[in-house]
Amino acid sequence: MSTQQEINYKRIAEAIAFYKQNFKRQPSLDEVAEHVHLSPFHFQRMFKDWAGVTPKQFLQYLTLEHAKEVLNKEADVTLFDAAFESGLSGTGRLHDLFIKIEGMTPGEYKNGGEELNINYQFADSPFGQLLVASTNKGICYMAFVDEGEESTLKDLKSKFPNARFSDRSDELQEKALSIFHRDWNKPSEVKLHLKGTDFQIKVWETLLKVPMGELTTYSGIAGKLKHPEAARAVGSAVGSNPVAFLIPCHRVIKADGQIGEYHWGSTRKNAIIGWEATQVYAPQEN
């Protein structure tokens, strides 16, 4: 690491420490830039290069994490308490922050899905056992069972800690699972009930438009979203996909042609891509 790189690194480390110590004051970009002896323009650019997010985004993440800790402390903690303790001017800003980053309201986060009734079942697929779960609105979770049924069910319940769960199948689940047993050309028949940030939802919607048997790249998706510089953020949104296979994150590969990472393993990703290709391009019987 060169001397200049060392100086830049120390400046960013100092800025991060400053944010962590002072986030309740919601310091401005100018204040933090001055603290590390940089112009606001250069500080913004340098911070994004080193941390992968803008200073504003980093401050938002710190604020939100503290607000979540406050909301998790006691049952009688109010949204005003969380906003005040996090340095926000009111519950409106807390609401906007939750919607932007968590894809849910503060109240929904606090109640942990207590108003939801979730059905679930374990089912077989060509690529291993699945756990699929649904609300009355659609599929809210689908995951391959690699760590055992108990562990996978625990992961589902951790996402909706206060929901009521029933071990039973329903029509929504059966329609979703039928995707493995026929040439699926009506994906709209599978109803999804997902929570995510605006950006995550846009990425998932774009993935749904990638035809079966075809592939895309992280940069390709970023381009379709008109944010060509956001390939890394796209990768994060792809990795946050809560419904295996239905939102086809397996159809995303690296720009150099490498298969890339997959939440449920690169071997399974290769198998799924190959299977889909045979479904689409297999010779038709006369």
Beta bridge partners of 120: 133, 167
Query: Quick one: tokens of 183?
Result: 């040439």
Terminal CA-CA length for the chain: 65
Q: What is the C-alpha to C-alpha distance for residues 146 and 139, in angstroms, rounded to an integer? A: 20
Catalytic residue, candidates 62, 249, 252, 253: 249
Query: Quick one: tokens of 206?
Result: 């774009």
Q: How many CB atoms lie within 10 A of CB 207?
A: 21
Any catalytic annotation for residue 140?
A: no
**Inter-CA distances, 199 with 56, 99, 161, 171, Å:** 16, 11, 24, 30
Query: Quick one: tokens of 20?
Result: 């962590």
Q: Is 157 helix (H, G, I), strand (E, B) or coil?
A: helix
Which residues, 6 or more positions from 181, have their beta carbon under 8 angstroms from its beta carbon?
none
DSSP string, 219-274: HHHHHHTT-TT-HHHHHHHHHT-SBTTTS-GGGEE-TTS-----TT-HHHHHHHHH
* Residue 111, amino acid: N
**What strands, in cross-sheet order, belong to the sheet with 139-144?**
139-144, 130-134, 117-123, 164-167
Residues annotated as catalytic are 249
